[in-house]
Structure 1
């Protein structure tokens, strides 16, 4: 239970940090990188079951920072990125990491994308090793040290 409490507190802190920067997080690159991150975390184990897809889509729709963008646009991008991962996971992952890497020149956006990945990964109460691994790879794509996020 202590691990779950720590994860919950960590994601609540990250969500608060995201909210503090909400007005800075309005670029198209941030939108695309966020949806790529959500898709990567949802498909971290190489597949996406319908329940996981629905849970992630629901989190996207209710995340206050992501409400800077039209919900239908986010859903379309998320579905498109998931499609790339389900068609060819390895190739799709490379493309999504490139999309995520585009925010690397803006530290606030880069950190926010990583935080969104952690929030999505921990939403079910268990941030598993495959989810942590894709978030670590995303850290490298944006030039951040995974240790900054305890990864």
Structure 2
């Protein structure tokens, strides 16, 4: 099986796992970490073009697991994180990774945040090296081994 086919299958499996845990993923820490992860993946290459920002915002709005939260609130949190990353990527990344790290107290939520990053990263059909690298960094912020997610 080609690497991309394995990845698509893995992303699909992760989305199903997230939906199965939907009722357990309602905390503020999960919400905030998820939006930070989405922004980090969107800005993984150091910039975010408007079409990419719009695509990720659309994915957030339609993700079944994130429907536990108010869509406008999610959009605001995503935008705040994107603004941090586009103003000064290196400094913004530190702040965003700290936000992601808040979910590490609950391992199920921490894993779900990583899974959301992988689902968002692969949504355009290409989970590229820069996206994989920032999700790997998020794993470290969450005290999770990246190899658990094939990173």
1:71 equivalent to 2:71? Answer: yes
Q: Distance in 2 between matches of 1:89 and 1:4?
A: 28
Q: Distance in 2 between matches of 1:8 and 1:147?
A: 17
Q: Distance in 1 between matches of 2:68 and 2:59?
A: 14
After superposition, what is the alpha-carbon deviation per residue over 1:26-61, rounded to whole angstroms, capped at 9, x for unaligned? 000100000000000000000001111111001000
1:72-111 alignment runs, 5 A limit: 72-111=72-111
Contact 1:7/1:125 (CA < 8 Å) preserved in 2? no
Structure 2: where are the runs of 5+ without partners?
Answer: none
Q: Distance in 2 between matches of 1:137 and 1:5?
A: 24
Q: Distance in 2 between matches of 1:82 and 1:91?
A: 12
Q: Distance in 2 between matches of 1:34 and 1:138?
A: 11
1:56 equivalent to 2:56? Answer: yes
Which residue in the other structure is 2:114 paired with?
A: 114
Q: Distance in 1 between matches of 2:103 and 2:97?
A: 11
SS in 2 for 1:103: helix
Which residue in the other structure is 2:145 paired with?
A: 145
1:13 CA drift (Å): 0.2
Q: Distance in 1 between matches of 2:106 and 2:64?
A: 20
TM-score w.r.t. structure 2 length? Answer: 0.98
1:95 CA drift (Å): 0.4
TM-score w.r.t. structure 1 length? Answer: 0.98
Q: Distance in 2 between matches of 1:95 and 1:109?
A: 19
